[in-house]
Structure 1
Amino acid sequence: MTDPDPRPVASDAGAVRMFWQPLGLPGLFDVHTHFLPANIERRVWAQFDEAGPKIGRPWPIRYRQSVDERVDLLRRCGVRRFSSLPYAHRPGIATYLNDWARVFAGDVPESLWSATLYPEPEAAAYVEALVAQGAEIFKVHVQVGEFRLDDPLLDPVWGTLADAGTPVVIHAGGAPVGNDFTGPEPLARVLARHPRLTAIVAHLGAPDYLAFCDLADRYERVHLDTTMVFTDFWETSYPAELTARLRDLQDRVLLGTDFPTIPYPYVHQLEGLARLDLGDDWLRSVCWRNGHALFGLGRDAPVPVE
């Protein structure tokens, strides 16, 4: 693994650009990054610092700058679109997070307008309103939120998102620490009822890679994001026999990184993808074309060239 020093180094942006520029890409499209209100972010980072029960291991966060500095770093890396992906961890907080994310999207033109939801009586109404207003992506995290994807309160929500084609990033796998709410079965039940739902399975569904690959085979709108998989830090190794499945799913694998909450330089995620040896065209699809096809450039602002 590359240098685990949690402090960003000056070469990080240059190393990232040296990855994508030889591929002839206009930049990177990262569907899985996080920006949160300062008070929430402090609590999240404290969990990582303490290796709390939902983290399970030491996890030094590399990118701890201010919001503006982190946005600037992504721009200098050439990440042309990225998300904020708030995730509600209890009832009553989704609206607060969604209001913050709306302002962030307005201030950062290349960001995907992100939102979250929770199984609560108000969810159907606020998700419908956000979709109508133009929210581009939702995030749910069942390990942290401790709820079932097929909770009856969420059934109308999945229907709204499926009808609109609005993607939702779903952390349903059991990594880094599973609980009674993680695993592929709840998502399988949701997809059986809403087969047109555009679901993006975070972390390739680790550690249940095979089951989530099967869901992507079965449902044409299921995508997989690469977040933290194929890095030396990730403890759940991707089975070598499934690598060919990623080639078959080339058009539905999306770059995700978990920036800024990663313990290694951003480029290490990209290096892990290159080590799969699935070819430059596969890398172009994963790192740019698939995200662009799903979301477009939207309000994208030009990226400064170093």
Structure 2
Amino acid sequence: MTETERVDEDVRQVTAFWQELGLPGLIDVHTHFMPERVMAKVWQYFDSAGPLTGRPWPILYRMDEAQRLARIRAFGVRAFTAMIYPHKPDMASWLNSWAAGFAARTPDCLHTATFYPEAGATGYVHRAVEEGARIFKAHLQVGGYDPNDPMLDGVWGLLRDSGTPVVIHCGHGPAPGPHTGPGPMGKLLERFPGLPLIIAHLGTPDYTDFLDLAAGDPQVMLDTTMTFTDWSERDAPFPRHELPRLRDLQDRILLGTDYPNIPYPYAHALHSLTRLGLGDDWLRAVCHDNAARILPPGSSA
């Protein structure tokens, strides 16, 4: 198969998935677009099989920004995100500035922002919301910070009051951090009930505990990023006895993929959802309808 034929087949499989469901396309709440030098460093980390990945991680969609945008649009993804995240102080604000510019020139990208526990965090988060940020990213594993750090109290309060969802990588997978796991998140939700959180990767590998959190707070959602794929099932298989709870939480599970930083075709993430056997209504809700409902007015979805 030539490269052109491989690309055509990639696009064909993805578009066939949503067309057969009668959807207008997909909404992917967990995709990564970053400043090019930041993305290059992320890819370098994956190439080195760093301690937070633990094994070789070949990136299938290693292309320049224009090509990555062209591919995700060819897939029929109607709205996506620019998941950015800092790993140290004095980084979040300039990432937010970049993301605001990216969203302005990329109308199908949901304006994304981030934060870090530091002086001034509440101020720049407030500014980002005022400028139109519709979704935030927090990465406890890479950032190595406690979500209950007092310097974030103003941030959480602001995001709760504005109803702005936060995609938060808080699970122990693929490697635990000092503040990952369900414990810190349970404490956060006790302090800020109603905070609109989207638990990235379904909380891999602590699926049951994070499903419990979602069951206890109607504002807690989960994204499917990498979950159920052959890649994740090898080391952190989803417990099949919890499948009924996925059906029960149908209206609070969202499609996420980690595109472009995935080691398998985009279609595999979708087919991995299909083989759960939860039905077409569940797939339609997860892959489009839920995100279309929760995204604030003005999104392209």
TM-score (norm: length of structure 2):
0.96
1:266-295 deviation per Cα after TM superposition (whole angstroms, max 9, x unaligned): 000000000000000000000000000011
1-structure distance, mates of 2:177, 2:107: 37
2-structure distance, mates of 1:124, 1:296: 21
* Equivalence map 1:25-40=2 (5 Å): 25-40=23-38
* Equivalence map 1:185-196=2 (5 Å): 185-196=183-194
Please say if residues 61 and 261 of structure 1, whose CA atoms lie closer than 8 Å, have aligned partners that are also in contact: yes
1:233 corresponds, among 226, 231, 234, to: 231
Look up the match of 1:50. 48
Look up the match of 2:217. 219
Q: CA deviation at 1:55?
A: 1.3
- Counting matched residue pairs gives 297
Q: CA deviation at 1:190?
A: 1.0
Secondary structure of 1:160's aligned partner: helix
Structure 1 ranges of 4+ moved more than 2 A: 296-301
Look up the match of 1:264. 264
Look up the match of 1:304. none
Look up the match of 1:204. 202
Look up the match of 2:245. 245
The alignment's C-alpha RMSD in Å is 1.6
Please say if residues 110 and 300 of structure 2, whose CA atoms lie closer than 8 Å, have aligned partners that are also in contact: no
Please say if residues 134 and 296 of structure 2, whose CA atoms lie closer than 8 Å, have aligned partners that are also in contact: no
Look up the match of 2:168. 170
2-structure distance, mates of 1:298, 1:74: 21
Please say if residues 110 and 297 of structure 1, whose CA atoms lie closer than 8 Å, have aligned partners that are also in contact: no
1:98 corresponds, among 90, 96, 99, to: 96
Partner letter of residue 172 of structure 1?
C
Report the CA distance shift for 1:250/1:289 in structure 2 as closer, same or farther (over 3 A).
Answer: same
Look up the match of 1:298. 298
Identity value in percent: 52
2-structure distance, mates of 1:35, 1:97: 11
Please say if residues 222 and 253 of structure 2, whose CA atoms lie closer than 8 Å, have aligned partners that are also in contact: yes
Partner letter of residue 210 of structure 1?
T
Q: CA deviation at 1:246?
A: 0.4
Report the CA distance shift for 1:200/1:90 in structure 2 as closer, same or farther (over 3 A).
Answer: same
Look up the match of 1:60. 58
2-structure distance, mates of 1:10, 1:66: 18
TM-score (norm: length of structure 1):
0.94
1-structure distance, mates of 2:262, 2:114: 21
